[in-house]
Amino acid sequence: MIRYLNTTEVAARIGVTRATVSKYTLPEPDAMIGPMRGWLPETIDAWHAGRPGSGRWSGSDRGRPNRSNTVSETDPA
């Protein structure tokens, strides 16, 4: 039997709340049963791996320190 994930299970799998998942644009479901959507675990894993995360944002770095100009406390400069 094939096991599909519902949105609650998708949220648990990627470590967010169901409310947060509802704000995401999820991939096309692998199965539909009436109005219920279902995803294979590997579909969610591939989608989640391709999402931008910490350090992978494109565009402006406003609000982030410029590491090349930051002097650490242990820097003898």
Would you kindly state where each structural domain of the chain is located, as residue ranges? 1-49
Higher pLDDT, 65 or 17: 17
State percent of the chain over pLDDT 70.
69
Higher pLDDT, 62 or 18: 18
Q: In whole angstroms, how far apart are CA 16 and each of 13, 25, 48, 77?
A: 8, 14, 12, 42
pTM exceeds 0.75 for this model? no
pLDDT tops 70 at residue 66: no
pLDDT tops 90 at residue 65: no
Q: What is the pLDDT of residue 52?
A: 84
